[in-house]
Amino acid sequence: MLREALTGINSAAATAAGNDLYNVAKGLYNEISIDRLKLNMEGITDRNEIAEQICRELKGKKCLLLLDDVRKDLDLDLSLIGMDDNERDIKVVLTTRHRHVCYDMEIDEPIKVQGLSEDDAWEMFKVKVGKNVNHKDIEPIAKLVAKECACLPLLIDKVAKIFRRKGKSPQLWDDGLSSLQRWPHIEFQGIDELIKYLEFCYEDIDDELKKIFSSGMIQQLSELQQLTVEECPEIEEIITESENNGLVPDALPRLKMLVLSNLPKVKSIWIDDSLNWPSLKRITIFKCEMLTRLPFNNENAINLKCIEADQIWWSALVWQDDTIENRLQSIWFQSA
């Protein structure tokens, strides 16, 4: 079996992010058996039986398994999903941001994906910003802004959208550049570069912000420990359903504190209780009158110790059942 690795990018494929293959297998069953092989698995829930059906379907065929954004060493026991590498030609291609994953998994053929060249990064920045970047007083500052993005396409895209709003004002551009330069030099290992720039991006946007996380961004924030959203009168959802289809339950495993303040239109943190909040300990809610449901059940936020909110908001909450209401009632503290 040949294993190849692409480092430095995040491609779209059948995904396995951070768990061993045994835990990932449940998600891959449907992905492989139903979506890709069009097998009829109605009424079949036994893992071994599903694996056997997949194995029969793949018998004598060449297979390619794609694993995206792998963050730690995976035990690739392919028999768990009906793919026995002793019987056929199977290749595994994975993407990772971490070099140690390649070493730990004994990758046969690592392929390093390079960042953009400086010229290509500048061209991308100009396209994203638009014609204002060619103004004689803007272009020198714009080149410095683009350089701060370290040739990373994701950052160029996010930062350029912010600077596009600054029009032809050299002062606004210069202020924005100063904000960017507050941060330490970008680190290329992992997703540190994204996290360090998020605060700049969200400090610099205007009051018309209606969503926080653009498509797929929430899945890049597994190290996020505190989220504070304040003074955003147009926001309706903290994690937007339409922008995060297929969001994995453990998307925010380290989030410890959530603060929502002065969000008069916000209606939901997340659409239901499908997410896990294993590290969440404290929530503060202030002036969020339209937020009437919490995304918790009796199992997905077991370490939550404090919900701080006023009496009027708490009394207006809608509950799935009395059990979760009673549990959270015991950790609710009325804000001053």
Angle at 31 (CA atoms; ends 28, 34), nearest 5 degrees: 125
Predicted pLDDT at 144: 93
By residue count, the chain amounts to 336
Predicted pLDDT at 36: 61
How many Å apart are CA 100 and CA 122, to the nearest integer? 31
Q: Is the Cα torsion angle 34, 39, 42, 47 positive or negative in sign?
A: negative
18 touches 70 (CB < 8 A) = yes
Q: In tens digits, what is the pLDDT along the chain, a chain of 336 residues?
A: 344 554 443 322 333 333 344 444 444 555 555 556 666 666 666 767 776 777 777 677 777 778 877 877 776 666 555 555 554 577 788 888 777 788 888 888 888 877 789 999 999 999 999 988 999 999 999 999 998 888 888 788 888 888 888 888 888 898 888 877 655 544 444 445 455 555 555 555 544 566 676 556 777 778 888 888 888 888 888 887 776 667 788 888 889 999 999 899 999 998 888 888 999 999 999 999 999 999 998 888 889 999 999 999 999 999 888 888 888 988 998 875
User: What single-letter amino acid sits at 262?
Assistant: N
How many Å apart are CA 259 and CA 285, to the nearest integer? 6
User: What single-letter amino acid sits at 26?
Assistant: K
How many Å apart are CA 316 and CA 67, to the nearest integer? 44
Predicted pLDDT at 139: 94
Q: Which of 176, 178, 169, 163 is nearest to 137 (CA)?
A: 169
Burial class (CB in 10 A: 0-12, 13-18, 19+), 203: exposed
Q: Domain 116-205, CATH 1.10.8 — does that match?
A: yes
Q: Which residue has the tokens 């595994």?
A: 92
Predicted pLDDT at 123: 95
Q: Which of 39, 131, 134 is nearest to 82 (CA)?
A: 39
Strand order from edge to edge, sheet including 332-334: 226-230, 257-261, 282-286, 306-309, 332-334
* DSSP-assigned beta bridge partners for residue 230: 261
Q: Which of 239, 308, 242 is nearest to 275 (CA)?
A: 239
How many CA atoms within 13 Å lie on the side-chain side of 280? 23
Helix (H, G, I), strand (E, B) or coil at 144: helix
266 touches 212 (CB < 8 A) = no
How many CA atoms within 13 Å lie on the side-chain side of 171? 0
Predicted pLDDT at 207: 46
* DSSP-assigned beta bridge partners for residue 237: 268
335 touches 286 (CB < 8 A) = yes
300 touches 277 (CB < 8 A) = yes
Predicted pLDDT at 141: 94
30: DSSP letter: I
pTM of the model: 0.47
Question: DSSP states of 60-115 as a string?
Answer: T--EEEEE-S--S-----GGGGT--TTTS-EEEEEEES-HHHHHHTT-SEEEE---
124 touches 103 (CB < 8 A) = no
Domain boundaries, the chain: 2-112, 116-205, 206-336
Predicted pLDDT at 8: 43
